[in-house]
Amino acid sequence: MPAQFATLIVIIFILYLFWADLREDHGTSNAVWIPMIWMFLAGSRYFSQWLDLGQPIDPRDVYKDGSPVDAAVFGALIVAGAAVLGRRGLDWGRLLLENKWIGFYFLFCAVSVVWSDDSFVSLKRWVKAMGDVVMALVVLTEQRPIEAMGTLLKRLAFVVLPLSVLFIKFYPELGRAYHMAAPMYTGVATSKNTLGQICLISGIYFCWVLLYRWREEVDRGGIARIGVYALFVVMVAWLLYMASSATSVACWLVVAGFFGAARVPALAAEPRRLVVLLGSAIALFAMLETAFGVSDWIIASLGRSRDLTTRVPMWELLLSLNTNPLIGVGFESFWSGERLGIVWRQFPGIIQAHNGYVDLYLNLGVIGLLLLLVGIGAGVAGAIRELESDYAGSLLRIAFVVTVLLNNWTEASIKPVSIMFVILCMGILTGATGEEPEEGEEDPHV
């Protein structure tokens, strides 16, 4: 098939999906487009890279501060999101009270700018990290936040997944890269792992819809709607296969198993039993790992070497460098200066530890790492408490958190301008409600 004809088909398909989606009333406002654009740029290519489409992409450029154009685009999105929150009358006092540990984490990140190598650069990255929070709050302050999450993730998938298939199949100069002379399929993203993350998030959403919301979807769009979602699941599976992102595949399988177990009548009738089951599964894994080292078998089954493709030796080198074990080197400041030169002499081109917990420790020390983990734990506890009032919605939130925690083991997922950080915030933040419009008053959510 000629590339031009394939492009036309994909464009028509995307336009049809949006036309059908926009015809419906999801109970969400137009403000959802703001985090959708943010996540599209974070999960694919920055705006300046889309302008230079076809030029070779150096992943190191994504870590740098980027062009003034990118700074302006992300800044405008943050301002737009903050304006939406201001109009909605967000109760900041309640939000901070119910998420105090996350608040302490971001406060510590801000303070750490003082002892970073380049305080100005560190501060700019902190502002971008707060942008992830703003995007999540725009969604959570919708009158129907779970529906808003679905609208966001669905529209993101409508664009990213078909374009990724198009790029890989018909525009190899756009959808592929090369590492050690071997092809690496990236789709619309800048790396195979980023493509894997996009597919992972989309796959989780569509699995959740097909398992828990299929009746509502049939009522809205007929059985054809389910067929479209099933097609997207197949698309996700194919893209994950092409990307060969073992971490994303493993996370998807874990979450799909979690969704399946949660449908067991005995667990659905008593949601607390699901929590006990999860805790028991974690404890069992810990015992099996201690006794038999089952992680080696899991790693091998995913086609990876036992040293996680040289990651363990890299972690050993990173942890041997001179960083403050309590407070780190400052927010997002480790990968710079002399330290970067030392790492690149042994691991050229590496700009992250490929383990988010190691990255957090290097940048923020034990204090920053513990603050974030305690904040995540408190957020999960909040989602668990809501299982009885909104079973399906709470499962989706818990799945978000589980996904990020697992993905963060082999990829630095909790970073500024990150789709994984946005969904983590959507999963753990509670108390994000605005003022309800009075009868006859214009809805401030629009």
Percent of the chain with pLDDT over 70: 86
- Taking only the tens place, the pLDDT of each residue in 326-354 is 999 999 988 887 888 888 888 877 788 87
- Taking only the tens place, the pLDDT of each residue in 289-329 is 556 555 556 656 656 555 555 667 888 888 888 789 999 99
Residue 222: how many CA atoms within 13 Å on its side-chain side? 2
The per-residue pLDDT for 85 is 93
Dist. CA 138–CA 145, nearest whole Å? 9
**Contact at 8 Å (CB) between 205 and 158?**
no
Q: How many residues can be counted in the chain?
A: 446
- Burial (Cβ within 10 Å: 0-12, 13-18, ≥19) of residue 21: middle
How sure is the predictor about 440, in pLDDT bands with cuts at 50, 70 and 90? very low
Q: Which of 45-54, 120-129, 365-374, 418-427 is the least confident region?
A: 45-54
Question: Higher-confidence residue: 253 or 82?
Answer: 82
Whole-model pTM: value is 0.87
195 contacts: CB under 8 Å, gap ≥ 6: 164, 185, 186, 187, 188, 189, 239, 243, 245
- Taking only the tens place, the pLDDT of each residue in 148-202 is 999 999 999 999 999 999 999 998 888 887 666 567 888 898 888 889 999 999 9
Determine how many CB atoms are found less than 10 A away from the CB of residue 272.
11
User: Scanning the structure block, which residue is given the tokens 């909040």?
Assistant: 382
Percent of the chain with pLDDT over 90: 40
Q: With residue 319 as reference, give the H or E element that holds it.
A: helix 311-320
As a whole number, the mean pLDDT across the chain is 84
**Tokens standing for 371?**
């603050």
How sure is the predictor about 272, in pLDDT bands with cuts at 50, 70 and 90? confident
**Contact at 8 Å (CB) between 348 and 381?**
no
**Tokens standing for 156?**
């993101």
